[in-house]
Structure 1
Amino acid sequence: MPETFFTLRWPDGTVERCYSPSGVVAELFSPGTSYPLKDFLNRARIALVRASNRVEAKYGFACTSAMAELDRIEARSATFEGQPAAMVTCLEISQ
């Protein structure tokens, strides 16, 4: 289960490196692709919950780091909710 990092560009232009305990993010995001905020958030939830579930299946406990990353992404996304055209771009996925 390779640790994976994914780099995002938020609607305000800031760039942020995010963490996943699993490569599952590569199943839901593609580097160079922009996602409408709502779609991005849905994909992030699916990816990080799946990643946490994979950790739990292997080690017997959920991944608190994945859930903390999801909380951080949800909080950051909330700052753009009033912008219907807001897009989040996946810049890179790396292990």
Structure 2
Amino acid sequence: MPEMTFRVRWPDGKESDCYSPSLVIRDHFTPGQDYPIRDFLEKADTALTQASERVRARYGFPCSRALGQLAAIRQASASFLNQADAQVRVLSFRS
């Protein structure tokens, strides 16, 4: 199963590499695009859950690394949720 990394810039300017066990991330995000924090969270939840389910369909168990990445994204986002104008930029994809 092709895995990928997507790099994001948080509202405070910090950058993070995020893991996905599937290229499904490309269906939900576009490099160079800004997303309001709540939209980013919703899309990340959908994409990483789908990626984990693809692993389950193929190997019989969900991808704990994808679910761990989703938990890390939720934690990183928490401090920005009260900022109405907070945006996350998806910088790049790397396979």
Q: What secondary structure is seen at the aligned counterpart in 1 of 2:83?
A: coil
Corresponding residue of 1:64: 64
What does 1:8-87 align with in structure 2 at a 5 Å threshold? 8-87=8-87
- Identical amino acids, percent of aligned pairs: 47
Hey, what's the Cα distance between the residues in 2 that align with 1:72 and 1:21? 15
Q: What secondary structure is seen at the aligned counterpart in 1 of 2:23?
A: coil
Structure 1: gaps (5+ residues): none
Hey, what's the Cα distance between the residues in 1 that align with 2:47 and 2:79? 21
Q: TM-score, normalised by structure 2?
A: 0.98
Q: TM-score, normalised by structure 1?
A: 0.98
Q: C-alpha displacement at 1:82, in angstroms? A: 1.3
Hey, what's the Cα distance between the residues in 2 that align with 1:45 and 1:33? 17
Q: What secondary structure is seen at the aligned counterpart in 2 of 1:6?
A: strand
**How large is the Cα RMSD of the aligned pairs?**
0.5
Runs of 4+ in 1 over 6 A off after TM superposition: none
Hey, what's the Cα distance between the residues in 1 that align with 2:44 and 2:24? 10
Q: C-alpha displacement at 1:94, in angstroms? A: 1.2
Q: C-alpha displacement at 1:78, in angstroms? A: 0.5
Does residue 94 of the first structure (1) align with residue 85 of the second (2)?
no
Hey, what's the Cα distance between the residues in 1 that align with 2:82 and 2:35? 16
Structure 2: gaps (5+ residues): none
Q: C-alpha displacement at 1:23, in angstroms? A: 0.4
Hey, what's the Cα distance between the residues in 2 that align with 1:71 and 1:15? 17
Q: What secondary structure is seen at the aligned counterpart in 2 of 1:56?
A: helix
